Amino acid sequence: MIPNWLRQRAHLTPNRVALYDDTQSISFAELHDRTVKRARQFVYLGVKKGDIVAILMKNSIHMVEVIHALHYIGAIVLLQNVRLSIEEIKWQLDHSGARFVICDAPFPDERVIEWNEFIKLRERDGEWQTMYHLDDVATIMYTSGTTGKPKGVMQTYGNHWWSAIGSALNLGLHENDCWLAAVPFFHVSGLSILMRSVIYGMSVYIMSSFDAKRSNELILQGKVTMMSAVSTMVQQIIQQLKQPYPPSFRCMLVGGGPVSQPLLHSCANWNIPVYQTYGMTETASQVATLSPDARHKHGSAGKPLFHMGIRIEKDGHQLNANEVGEIVVKGPSVMKGYWQNEKETNAVLKDGWLYTGDIGYMDEEGFLYVLDRRSDLIISGGENVYPAEIEAVLLEHKAVKEAGVIGVADETWGQVPHAFVVLYDGTATEEQLKLFCMSKLAKYKVPKRIYIVDHLPRNATNKLMRHKLKKWVEEA
């Protein structure tokens, strides 16, 4: 048990700036005051400890208030990706049993409370969570999986705490640090910045959506010293850049897939200290991080954070250095499990070890190399896209008999999904199928190309051979 983070932080360093956006800055004391007001409004609504409340918002100071306010009550925060389709969002609300969803834009659901209405609510005294139990669930984030149905990752206070501490032990803690949050708070890469903020007493500069030009301004003016990004963001940053980054900027933490060699070279030229990282929702962010002084380890995701153990396994046996197998990780930032999904939880959590499904190896010095994310995972502009989920939607269309989805290299997004379908009859066109997907899926999940074919490549046990589909694309 440790003291409520924001409350303790406001007590220890009340006047330090907690949050900036383009129009204002607020101190930890102010953030705390606002949070208590929001918490009182939630109590008025009837929200109690243990309730699940969803948030469907873009990055903003308001969103931060809502997250901390729910934790002040001890409610569980369900963070939802605003880019998901209505159907996907409703599915999560239903599955989680969320009582409300706080939105910053209209959304068609009876559980919705729009921010503009929320702030008009009256207030009521509540029982505050002045101490956090590290084993309690703080947040839920749904991720899709190979089976198609999203799984609600339960992240505890302890998971977030250890993740923040592990990051600090690796990157250091400077009193003047300010972290640019241009990745969404509904992803763990963004949420973890907010957790670090209250734990470290660190300022965060909030961007509602990524703007390369503005990011460069803030960094060149010395206003931010650290930033989280994915490769495509770094690419855009470099396209906009006219002068090298100053020494005050000390860390560009890049997740969501490896950074290409040419991009790494550009970064070095522009004095951008890139820390490549490997992490996932299930580990409350970073598992391993490669520091710039280990740049000679091309393609590596670095060494584990201090609190994490990593090993490579195959057929239940731990492998030696340089042998390729499944990446298995252990440590106190590993999730508690999937929300109301014992089967999937037991499938990945064994004796405290998380079986990531990712394929890789460690070299003699213990540097991790990730070769393949979760066998068939597509990472498009930093968003995880699971082929199985898209295939399931395609199969819902009455004309589709079989479907296979793969990731195809893309200059802007890293990867984009392409689909192959076998039809019952000849009635559906590529455009029709895309429109159908559009109505069911987030835009970034809709296949950029849908190829109508006679058959899909399958092996003897009828399993789809995705690597063959990749060949088909190359040949096309």
Q: Which of 46, 12, 51 is nearest to 29 (CA)?
A: 12
d(CA 94, CA 470): 36
How many chain residues bind its own copies (CB under 8 A)?
29
Q: Does 8 bind its own copies (CB under 8 A)?
A: yes
The b/e string for 390-402 (b: 16+ C-beta within 10 A; e otherwise) is: bbbbbeebebbeb
Locate tokens 């708070």: which residue?
Answer: 185
Residue 165 contacts its own copies per CB under 8 A: yes
Task: Tell the smallest beta-carbon distance from residue 28 to its own copies (Å).
Answer: 12
d(Cα 476, Cα 469) in Å, to the nearest integer? 10
- Provide the minimum distance between the beta carbon of 319 and its own copies in the complex, in angstroms, as a whole number: 17
Residues forming beta bridges with residue 362, ordered by sequence position: 368
Closest listed residue to residue 154, CA positions, set 135, 172, 177, 170: 135
Our CB check for its own copies shows the closer of 30 and 344 to be: 30
247 sits near its own copies (criterion: CB under 8 A)? no
Closest CA to 210 of 182, 181, 252: 182
- Beta carbon nearer to its own copies, 168 or 422: 168
Residue of the chain from 201, 257, 337, 404 that contacts its own copies (CB under 8 A): 201
Tell me which stretch binds its own copies (CB under 8 A): 219-227, 256-264, 272-280, 327-335.
327-335
Minimal distance, residue 11 CB to its own copies, in Å: 5
Rounded to a whole number of angstroms, the minimum distance from the CB of residue 162 to its own copies is 8
Comparison of 361 and 436: residue with beta carbon closer to its own copies: 361
Q: Given the complex with its own copies, which of 84 and 198 has the nearer CB atom?
A: 198
Q: Does 246 bind its own copies (CB under 8 A)?
A: no
What is the rounded CA–CA span in Å between residue 315 and residue 309? Answer: 19
Instruction: Indicate the length of the chain as a whole number.
Output: 476
How many Cα atoms are found within 13 Å in the side-chain-facing hemisphere of 256?
A: 25
| 435 binds its own copies, rule: CB under 8 A | no
Q: Does the protein bind its own copies through residue 331 (CB under 8 A)?
A: yes
- Please select the residue that binds its own copies; options are 194, 308, 377, 450, rule is CB under 8 A: 308
Residue 311: Cβ within 10 Å count: 15
Binding positions for its own copies, rule: CB under 8 A: 1-3, 8-9, 11-12, 131, 165, 168-169, 172-175, 199-201, 303-304, 306-309, 330-332, 352, 366
